Chains A and B, each alone.
Chain A
Amino acid sequence: MNALDNVCFTLNGKEVEVTDPDRPLIYALRNDCNAKSVRYGCGLEQCGCCMVLVDGVEQYSCTLLTQSVAGKSVETVEGLASVDGLHPIQQAFVEEQAGQCGYCLSGMIITAKSLLSKNSHPTRAEIVEALDKHLCRCGAHNRIIRAIQRAAELMS
């Protein structure tokens, strides 16, 4: 691998450089950048577990090639909490105990962040629309919707 092929991008505010630009971003994030919150679910853009923000827009990292984020800003759940504590979205998920196994939550939280950045007070229907690309197998849907409503309150 030629170092010229390396891909540089910003991950949760820090510059990173990774090899192998042709692989899906999820592998670079999980294995090279230790961003383990990014979850492999299907590799087919069907479940939403692997969702990350690229320049603020949610994207499936299971199919997105690493080279396509060159020079861009990538955010994962690792970037949400600060020294002051949990991000309000995470806080809201804890307060609502919004999850059972929790495997889907990383992706949901990312989509919630994207949604709330565009729409600070989404209705239930708007939340459902935003989350409909995500699957939850345990049946925590209503709790997750309530968590996002609560997050909107915490952030306002």
Chain B
Amino acid sequence: MSLPKLPASLAANPSLNRWIAFLPNKTVRVASGKVEIGQGIVTALQQIAAEELDIDLSKLSLASGDTEIGPDENYTTSSLSIMASGAAIRAVTSEARALLTERAALRLNCAPEDLEISNGEFLKNQEVTGVDYWDVADEIDWERNATASFPHKTTSSYKIVGKNTPRDDLGKKVMGSGFIHDISEKNLLHARMLRQPSPEAQLSYLDEEAIKRAAGGDIQILRKGNFIALIADEEWLAEKAARAAYQHAVWSGVSNIPKGAADARNLPGQDAVENFYGDQVTADSTPGKKLKVTVTRPYVAHASLGPSVSLARWENKKLDIWSHGQGMHPLRRNLALALSIDENSIHARHADGPGCYGHNGADDAALDAAIVALEIPNTWIRMQWKRDEEFAFEPVGPAMQVDIETILDANGNPTDWTTNIWSPVHVQRPGAPGVVMLGAKSLGAVAPEGDPADPPPERGYGGPRNAFPAYKVGQTHIHHHLIREPAVRTSALRGLGALPNVCAIERMMDLAALEAGKDPVEYRLSLLDDDRARSVLQRTSELCDWSKRGASGTGKGLGIAYSRYKNIAAMAGVAVAVTVEKEIRLEQIWAVADAGLAINPDGILNQLEGGCVQGASWALKEEVKIEGAGIVSTDWDSYPILRFSDVPEINLELISRPNDIALGVGECTVGPTAAAILNAVAHALGEPIIDMPLTRERVMETILKE
């Protein structure tokens, strides 16, 4: 008999004690390598564990992101946590339950089948036996490897999974606590950075006395190569020093990027790694009407509301570090490499930070803290990035241009579909070709050589994420031009390339429907085979009263879009109503999703809505401005995001599919929301705006062009 396949996270961390511990206080601690980044994952994973173990949530804690007690699950990304960590935790907890039941049955002299479990206590014939999990837990060798060969509970018996469950962490956060920023240690030193203005800049001169005078108190200036930290026991002194330091440093070799050079429209033609996916291009040209759409979006920021923080202490040749990054095991590896210390001498722990949405400054801030800690040992160092620092030095989401050309047959259906995607790389984690962490770069580290590389197809692509349409479009050819040397550092941002790709596909669907003389929803449905996808789109069109959609060009628009994130995660349909005068006003958003089994339905709705707002914000407002040394949009005035007065009411609906596997939801509404906005604006104006963000200037240009 072949052994059942372990979920991937479990295969990588097979020992049960990496995942579960029965604690003396009669609680269970389950561990995960996935971390809370504002998405509510900890609660959902707790629900899965409590369900399989048949214990109350109050008896269960989740240790997330701790290199000493938890599993290595790499980074918390790509809407994978429920599918990856959830599957592992479900396997581990069902195995633990079975092992414990066997031991209890031996003790109670009965068959395991004779026992039931109520909140961790064993019952026999509905009677209390006086034996619970914790009584027999010591009899099991938890170092044994998981087998994942034990049955899970059936969906119909679920009592915790599928129920709206309030988030534990939100309870703390409304009390004003629960963040990494709040960790307080005795004799903690506060640190700030003075960063190289651009990656190759070299420090020529630093007027340390002037900085000390500006601080007006006792500060320490740590200089190692181009790494400069300002340290004080009083935070305000470090802050004052950091604010003053810019003016007292002279750099050479600072970049000088011409204004406009970093625009998405300038990506085509730049030196690129050429990738191709899909059906081979043949010389025969298909007859039919040719259509083309172009969509661009600029570089966009994570723009987390709180700049990055980390706390580090080097003591007895051991580095303790707190971070709000997306993965503590990878952080430990990266720090070990950058600091030339043994990975096992680092204990990295996650604590909640501000909403993360991808690879922001958190990891770099952790290295900054660690570099200072190694120089000033035996005391905690609290490294706090400044607002302008986070905006200027976090990796940003790549600018992209997406062109789609298609040929319609005599019935108006696409027979051939060619996409060209120009994009810098979407994932640049430390250790990847060309990538070193900021602090390491300042110390002179050299990046590994090689071409930049996006996630491979099996991990959902980077630039070409969601480039393959869900629709029947005939032969599909995806040309991915991966720009080698973008103007600024890029890395993972919610959805990677999905937003521009979904926008381009959905623009093309509207255009093709118009050409075919069909209603845009009917047209899409005629090209969608999957029943679940069809249900999502149909329900979206019902919610927004699509059938009553008015004429085009009236200033009022209704747009719709559909996408399944990565073509494997949750499906989402979004409709948006807009009014366009000089500016675009969102009147209403409707979103429908199918996420399979919903672990925490209210948590999913929260994520869906957040995705709508962020997608709308990217479509309408956001653009990282690049000029001179690098990013110049370094505050909320120069990098506006959607505000309360911009956010419309949002109607959400989750299609219940309790018998289908749980699908990741974190990113599914982002692309379709932006796409529905583009379509709604095109409907309102009778003319599309294809360059994001859809600013007032671009609206006016389009209106005046007509």
Which candidate, B37-45, B99-107, B465-473, B556-564, is the interface stretch facing chain A?
B37-45
Provide the residues of chain A in CB contact with B354, threshold 8 Å. Answer: 101, 103, 137
Provide the residues of chain B in CB contact with A142, threshold 8 Å. Answer: 609, 647, 649-650
Q: How far is the CA of A33 from the CA of B526 in the complex (A)?
A: 64
B635: interface (CB < 8 Å):
yes
Provide the residues of chain A in CB contact with B614, threshold 8 Å. Answer: 137-139
Contact A100 B174 (CB under 8 A): no
Q: Which of B392-415 touch A at CB < 8 Å?
A: none
A46-B637, A135-B641, A143-B609 known; A102 vs B182 contact (CB < 8 Å): no
B184: interface (CB < 8 Å):
yes
A37-B176, A90-B175 known; A100 vs B40 contact (CB < 8 Å): yes
Contact A100 B387 (CB under 8 A): no
A56: interface (CB < 8 Å):
no
Provide the residues of chain B in CB contact with A103, threshold 8 Å. Answer: 38, 173, 179, 304-306, 353-355
Provide the residues of chain B in CB contact with A127, threshold 8 Å. Answer: 644
Q: How far is the CA of A41 from the CA of B181 in the complex (A)?
A: 11
Q: Which of A20, A23, A36 contacts B176 (CB 8 A)?
A: A36
Q: How far is the CA of A40 from the CA of B238 in the complex (A)?
A: 15
Q: Mark B38-62, 1 if CB is under 8 A from A, else 0.
A: 1110000000000000000000000
Q: Which of B184, B384, B613 contacts A40 (CB 8 A)?
A: B384
Provide the residues of chain B in CB contact with A49, threshold 8 Å. Answer: 305-306
Provide the residues of chain A in CB contact with B179, threshold 8 Å. Answer: 36, 39, 102-103
Residue total for A at the interface (Cβ-Cβ under 8 A):
54
Contact B38 A139 (CB under 8 A): no
Least CB distance from A33 to B in Å reads 12
B687: interface (CB < 8 Å):
no
Contact B306 A39 (CB under 8 A): yes
A40-B384, A101-B352, A101-B355 known; A139 vs B609 contact (CB < 8 Å): yes
Contact A139 B611 (CB under 8 A): yes
A40-B306, A81-B175, A102-B173 known; A139 vs B181 contact (CB < 8 Å): no
A46-B635, A47-B305 known; A94 vs B38 contact (CB < 8 Å): no
Q: Which of B174, B304, B386 contacts A137 (CB 8 A)?
A: B304
State the majority secondary structure of interface residues on A: loop
Provide the residues of chain A in CB contact with B169, threshold 8 Å. Answer: 102
Looking across the interface, which residue of chain B has its beta carbon closest to that of A38? Answer: B176
Looking across the interface, which residue of chain A has its beta carbon closest to that of B391? Answer: A42
Q: Mark A105-144, 1 if CB is under 8 A from B, else 0.
A: 1100100000000000000000111011011111111110
Looking across the interface, which residue of chain A has its beta carbon closest to that of B173? Answer: A102
A23-B236, A102-B169, A135-B305 known; A141 vs B613 contact (CB < 8 Å): yes
Q: Which of A138-156 touch B at CB < 8 Å?
A: 138-143, 145
Q: How far is the CA of A140 from the CA of B37 in the complex (A)?
A: 14
Provide the residues of chain A in CB contact with B176, threshold 8 Å. Answer: 35-38, 76-78, 106
Q: How far is the CA of A134 from the CA of B641 in the complex (A)?
A: 11
A74: interface (CB < 8 Å):
no
B167: interface (CB < 8 Å):
yes
Contact B644 A137 (CB under 8 A): no
User: Given A101-B354, A103-B304, A137-B305, 6 more contacts at CB 8 Å?
Assistant: A23-B236, A97-B603, A102-B169, A106-B176, A135-B641, A141-B644
Q: 19 A-B Cβ contacts within 8 A?
A: A20-B236, A35-B176, A41-B306, A44-B635, A46-B636, A47-B636, A77-B175, A86-B174, A93-B170, A101-B173, A109-B174, A134-B644, A135-B305, A135-B636, A137-B354, A137-B641, A138-B38, A140-B609, A142-B649
